[in-house]
């Protein structure tokens, strides 16, 4: 009986311990106000902004607030969730309250906006949606990338919260520029605002590099083509992560600059087009070999940095703050060797973009949501991103290791000693990547599709061929590599015609057929390249 009692007591303690140790959190019934957010941000960011906003809101309004963070996945998952919620909400209004017929065209204008050839009924539906309180039960979309927010804005789901009218002094070039190095930092119609900066680079494990025979770390994207990296690169699926898709777009922009910049200040349109087409091909070939070196393509952009930190991969492409986050974790875990991880942002190959925030149409708590946007964009909120935990105005527990969007944050010399990254100033770069949106704005979705088909769906054949090529003598090696890197089926002309048409088709069979045909083409190239490399052809 005594033994049984001890076992029961131990089980009770185990079950109760998480509840006893969890931090105190305001419950919905205990708070005066509620705020509902959907966000891909990690738990550390949610924790610190919850604490900071609750304190700020109490001082400003005298009221308590409960923050309800909804976790539905990454930015792509959030986009699908919002899409389904808004379509269902407006369909109910359109069919049950307005007694109008619902069809695929009506659904399309709610999802993507109004096309030029829309019918009168579709135009009426669009106007009704923009005037409606159709919603998704959520107040704010916080975190992601400009592309994701542009899509939501185009669909009519984002609302101007009036923050510019409230604080016009914030929206100057010296405080919060509209653009920087070609990247938009806020929406021209104030439907979304960047809150913090992100860039892209390579996290590497110095111990792993030494074992592979490297005497210097990777500094440029092209360094990841080195055959010694085969099976040692961690990559994320760009169709699952908007941030990593943006990193791949940075690779493409850099390769396009390599071709366009030597043309001078006034190249002809024909010369520019040819240079952009060559840059596109070079970028695809670079990403193809990096994909051949990849150990895997994961669904989450947080996995490669973790695996690099653990030594499971030698290097990985990642968002800058995920790299810094792992550097912080390694520093805390192994104080004797805090510099085991390195991070490189490729010079001229990584632009800064923003993680935005936006008020959603039909928000159930719009005034609280507007207050949260005000807090995040205020200097008080901006401090949380990069001050050390426990410093005045800084986070309480976690070093977020992010770079604030507000330019005037970096002018306060007295905060430098309090910062996690005192030497980082994104507005002062030696050689920033000048991001020219017109070059790639229509290539974002096709690029994600092409990378998936070219490197992920055919990964087994690609890596087998690449390993054979690495071992092959000349001239077989060069012949096989030329076959492997034949990407003519997705050159710029084919991408902007066949690929875009297939992806834009309402017929899903056409999309599947396109993926199958391109996959068969690449698979055939890889199998032939392997035969050549092995001397069988």
**Each residue's pLDDT tens digit, 137-167:** 999 999 988 888 999 999 999 999 999 999 9
Q: Which domain holds residue 175?
A: 75-197+353-418
Judge if the upstream peptide bond of residue 475 is cis by omega within 30 degrees of 0. yes
Phi/psi of residue 373, each to 5°? -60, -45
Tell which phi-psi region holds residue 230, choosing left (phi > 0), alpha (psi between -120 and 50) or beta. Answer: beta
Domain co-membership, 338 together with 410: no
Tell me the pLDDT band of 243, cut-offs 50, 70 and 90: confident
CATH code where residue 83 lies: 3.40.190
Please indicate, yes or no, if residue 428 is contained in any of the structural domains: no
Which of 327, 350, 373 is the last residue in one of the domains? 350
Work out the end-to-end distance of the chain between its first and last CA atoms, rounded to an integer number of angstroms. Answer: 77
Q: Which tokens is 148 given? A: 């994701």
Please indicate, yes or no, if residue 503 is contained in any of the structural domains: yes
The pLDDT score that the predictor gives to residue 22 is 47
Please indicate, yes or no, if residue 117 is contained in any of the structural domains: yes
- For residues 70-76, average pLDDT: 86
- Could you tell me the strand order of the sheet in which 233-236 lies? 294-298, 233-236, 315-319, 200-205, 341-344
Number of domains the chain is built from: 3
Residue whose token pair is 């393509």: 297
The pLDDT score that the predictor gives to residue 513 is 94
- How do residues 420-430 score in pLDDT, each as one tens digit? 989 889 998 77
Cross-strand partners of 151: none
Domain co-membership, 158 together with 222: no
Domain co-membership, 204 together with 344: yes
Q: Which tokens is 285 given? A: 């070939």
CATH code where residue 336 lies: 3.40.190.10
Domain co-membership, 305 together with 168: no
pLDDT > 90 in the chain, percent? 78
Q: For residues 5-23, b (16+ Cβ closer than 10 Å) or e, as one string?
A: eeeeeeeeeeeeeeeeeee
The pLDDT score that the predictor gives to residue 24 is 47
Which of 317, 350, 383 is the last residue in one of the domains? 350
pLDDT, the chain, mean: 92
pLDDT > 70 in the chain, percent? 93
Domain co-membership, 169 together with 227: no
Q: Residue 140: which of 61, 239, 46 has the closest Cα? A: 46
- How do residues 176-210 score in pLDDT, each as one tens digit? 999 998 889 999 999 999 999 989 999 999 999 99
- How do residues 397-453 score in pLDDT, each as one tens digit? 999 999 999 999 999 999 999 999 898 899 987 778 999 999 999 999 999 999 999
Task: In whole angstroms, give the CA distance from residue 183 to residue 195.
Answer: 14
Please indicate, yes or no, if residue 423 is contained in any of the structural domains: no
- How do residues 105-140 score in pLDDT, each as one tens digit? 999 999 988 888 899 999 999 999 999 999 999 999
Please indicate, yes or no, if residue 318 is contained in any of the structural domains: yes
Domain co-membership, 464 together with 498: yes
Specify the higher pLDDT residue, 439 or 22. 439
- How do residues 259-296 score in pLDDT, each as one tens digit? 999 999 889 999 999 999 999 999 999 999 999 999 99
Domain co-membership, 160 together with 218: no
The pLDDT score that the predictor gives to residue 29 is 62
Domain co-membership, 183 together with 207: no
Which of 401, 418, 435 is the last residue in one of the domains? 418
Tell me the pLDDT band of 21, cut-offs 50, 70 and 90: very low
The pLDDT score that the predictor gives to residue 19 is 43
Domain co-membership, 218 together with 305: yes
Please indicate, yes or no, if residue 12 is contained in any of the structural domains: no
Please indicate, yes or no, if residue 360 is contained in any of the structural domains: yes
The pLDDT score that the predictor gives to residue 5 is 58
Domain co-membership, 217 together with 243: yes
The pLDDT score that the predictor gives to residue 73 is 84
Task: In whole angstroms, give the CA distance from residue 302 to residue 44.
Answer: 14
Residue whose token pair is 């029961």: 8
The pLDDT score that the predictor gives to residue 331 is 76
- How do residues 307-322 score in pLDDT, each as one tens digit? 999 999 999 999 988 8
Please indicate, yes or no, if residue 127 is contained in any of the structural domains: yes
Got the DSSP string for 273-297? HHHHHHHHHHHHHHHHHHHHHEEEE
The pLDDT score that the predictor gives to residue 260 is 97
Domain co-membership, 137 together with 206: no
Domain co-membership, 221 together with 343: yes
């Amino acid at each position: 009986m005594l033994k049984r009692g001890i076992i029961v007591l131990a089980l009770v303690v185990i079950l109760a311990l998480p509840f006893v140790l969890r931090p105190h959190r305001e419950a919905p019934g205990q708070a005066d106000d509620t705020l509902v957010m959907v966000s891909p941000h990690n738990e550390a960011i949610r924790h610190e902004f919850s604490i900071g906003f609750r304190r700020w809101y109490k001082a400003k309004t005298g009221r308590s607030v409960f923050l309800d963070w909804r976790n539905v996945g990454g930015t792509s998952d959030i986009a699908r969730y919002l899409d389904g919620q808004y379509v269902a909400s407006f369909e109910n209004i359109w069919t049950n309250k307005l007694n109008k017929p619902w069809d695929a065209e009506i659904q399309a204008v709610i999802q993507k906006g109004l096309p030029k050839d829309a019918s009168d009924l579709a135009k009426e539906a669009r106007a009704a949606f923009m005037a409606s309180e159709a919603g998704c039960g959520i107040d704010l979309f916080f975190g992601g990338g400009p592309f994701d927010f542009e899509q939501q804005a185009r669909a009519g789901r984002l609302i101007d919260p009036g923050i510019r009218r409230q604080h016009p002094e914030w929206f100057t070039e010296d405080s919060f520029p509209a653009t920087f190095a070609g990247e938009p930092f806020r929406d021209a119609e104030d439907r979304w605002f960047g809150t913090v900066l992100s860039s892209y680079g390579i996290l590497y494990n110095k111990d792993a590099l030494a074992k592979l025979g490297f005497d210097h770390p990777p500094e440029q994207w092209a360094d990841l083509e080195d055959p010694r990296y085969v099976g040692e690169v961690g990559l994320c699926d760009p169709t699952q992560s908007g941030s990593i898709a943006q990193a791949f777009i940075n690779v493409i922009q850099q390769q396009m600059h390599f071709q366009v910049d030597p043309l001078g200040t006034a190249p002809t349109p024909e010369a520019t087009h040819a240079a952009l087409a060559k840059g596109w091909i070079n970028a695809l070939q670079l990403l193809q070999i990096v994909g051949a070196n990849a150990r895997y393509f994961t669904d989450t952009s947080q996995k490669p940095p973790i695996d690099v930190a653990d030594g499971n991969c030698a290097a990985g492409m990642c968002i800058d703050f995920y790299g810094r986050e792992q550097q912080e974790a390694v520093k805390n875990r192994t104080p004797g060797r805090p510099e085991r991880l390195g991070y490189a942002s490729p010079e001229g190959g990584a632009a800064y973009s923003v993680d935005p925030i936006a008020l959603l149409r039909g928000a159930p708590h719009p005034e609280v949501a507007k207050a949260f946007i005000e807090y995040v964009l205020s200097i008080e909120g901006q401090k949380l991103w990069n001050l050390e935990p426990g410093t005045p105005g800084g986070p309480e527990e976690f070093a977020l290791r992010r770079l604030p969007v507000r330019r005037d944050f970096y002018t306060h010399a007295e905060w430098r000693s309090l910062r996690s990254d005192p030497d980082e100033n994104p507005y002062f770069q030696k050689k920033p990547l000048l991001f020219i949106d017109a070059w790639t704005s229509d290539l974002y979705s096709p690029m994600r599709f092409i990378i998936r088909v070219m490197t992920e769906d055919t990964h087994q054949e690609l890596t087998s061929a690449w390993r054979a090529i690495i071992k092959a003598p000349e001239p077989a090696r060069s012949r096989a590599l030329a076959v492997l890197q034949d990407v003519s089926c997705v050159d710029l002309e084919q991408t902007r015609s066949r690929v875009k048409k297939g992806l834009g088709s309402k017929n899903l069979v056409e999309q599947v057929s396109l993926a199958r045909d391109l996959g068969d083409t690449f698979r055939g190239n890889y199998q032939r390249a392997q035969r050549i490399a092995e001397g069988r052809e």
